[in-house]
Structure 1
């Protein structure tokens, strides 16, 4: 198992208007974003956990927490506890691009 780059470990917000060709675009949660209602997101933590963030009833994020592993430097495998996986949530990603201000992921 190869650890992913340290820049991954933060909260990311999905900027769906920038998605293209099956690649999801995320920006850091602490950066200004265009107005949108109910953005989802993901937070990767160095301890091997992640939070899949989906809009709740009041648009505040609701988290499903699971564990990630990195079978390769550009791959993430996600495991959710029983019953915690959000509908349509992927079980793995390819890291297409990662910079301090951009995360591009392709579901695998």
Structure 2
């Protein structure tokens, strides 16, 4: 397992209007975003913990907490507790681009 870049460890919000060619675009949660209802997101924490954030009944995020691993430098594998995976929650990503202000992921 390889260590992911340090810039990954934060809360990211999906900016779906910027998605293209099967690549999902995420921006830091603490940055201004265009208005949208019910954005999903991801939060990666050191130690292999992540949260998949999806809109709840009042559009406030609801977290599904799981574990991440990096089988390769540009890959993130996600695992969820039994019966906790949220419908369309991904099980892995290819990191297409990662900067302090942008995370582009391709689901795998």
Query: Shorter-chain-normalised TM-score: which range?
Result: over 0.9
Matching residue of 1:52: 52
Matching residue of 2:92: 92
Q: Deviations over 1:40-97 (max 9, x none)?
A: 0000001100000000000000000000000011000000000110101111000000
Q: Residues of 2 paired with 1:42 and 1:10: CA distance?
A: 8
Q: Residues of 1 paired with 2:90 and 2:41: CA distance?
A: 13
Which secondary structure does the structure 1 equivalent of 2:64 belong to? strand
Using structure 2 for the length normalisation, give the TM-score.
0.99
Q: Residues of 1 paired with 2:94 and 2:20: CA distance?
A: 15
CA RMSD after TM alignment: 0.4
Q: Residues of 2 paired with 1:38 and 1:73: CA distance?
A: 31
Q: Residues of 1 paired with 2:83 and 2:64: CA distance?
A: 9
Matching residue of 2:31: 31
Q: Residues of 1 paired with 2:40 and 2:88: CA distance?
A: 12
- Count of paired positions: 108
2:14 aligned with 1:9, yes or no?
Answer: no
Which secondary structure does the structure 1 equivalent of 2:17 belong to? helix
In structure 1, the gaps of 5 or more residues are none
Which ranges of 4 or more aligned residues in structure 1 deviate by more than 6 Å? none
